[in-house]
């Protein structure tokens, strides 16, 4: 496989789904994993699974749609670890609706998490990553290239990640 010994990884949405699996895998490979999530219960379950097998993981409550929360969490982690080596922009939300049923609020909510959240985290970490090295992994979706019925906001949100 691969080794991530002594690496510090941030995984948004690491409490469940793909983010959980990435968190567990990275910890298994030696990384210290910071799970940024709004679901403390799910994140702590992932952390428990990681730590019971000897890995290192920590929870940081963070709504990636809020710039001030992202900046505060990133600064906190850099203060604790002196670096961030890996950023996984995994957090994302969907909305069921078409052009007639999706409100402007629904659209803003999806774009705030799925697009602005990615930007905020990259922006908050890029200076120290340029100085010390690192990698950013942005999760996308088939919805960026294939039209899905009743999934209006997700397509443009995920498409913007390719640009």
Q: Which residue ranges form the domains of the chain, and what is each CATH number?
A: 8-160 (3.40.50.720)
Which of the 8 DSSP states describes residue 143? G
What pTM does this model have? 0.89
Q: For 43-60, what is each residue's pLDDT tens digit?
A: 999 999 999 999 999 999
The answer to whether 71 and 42 are in contact (CB under 8 A) is no
At residue 150 the predicted structure's pLDDT band, cuts being 50, 70 and 90, is low
Radius of gyration of the chain (CA): 16
Segment 98-116, tens digit of pLDDT: 888 889 999 999 999 999 9
pLDDT at residue 98, rounded to an integer: 81
pLDDT for 37 beyond 70: yes
CA distance 156 to 92: 13
CB count in 10 Å sphere of residue 98:
10
């Amino acid at each position: 496989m691969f080794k991530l010994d002594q690496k510090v990884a941030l995984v948004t949405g690491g409490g469940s789904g793909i983010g959980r699996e990435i968190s567990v895998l990275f910890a298994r490979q030696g990384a210290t994993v910071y799970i940024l999530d709004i679901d403390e219960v799910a994140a702590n379950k992932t952390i428990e699974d990681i730590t019971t097998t000897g890995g290192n993981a920590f929870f940081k409550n963070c709504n990636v749609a809020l710039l001030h929360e992202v900046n505060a969490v990133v600064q906190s982690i850099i203060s604790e670890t002196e670096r961030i080596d890996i950023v996984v922009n995994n957090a994302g939300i969907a909305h069921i609706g078409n052009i007639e049923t999706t409100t402007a609020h629904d659209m803003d909510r999806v774009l705030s998490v799925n697009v602005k959240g990615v930007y905020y985290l990259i922006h908050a970490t890029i200076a120290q990553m340029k100085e010390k090295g690192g990698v950013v992994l942005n999760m996308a979706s088939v919805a960026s290239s294939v039209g899905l019925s009743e999934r209006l906001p997700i397509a443009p949100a995920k498409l913007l990640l390719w640009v």
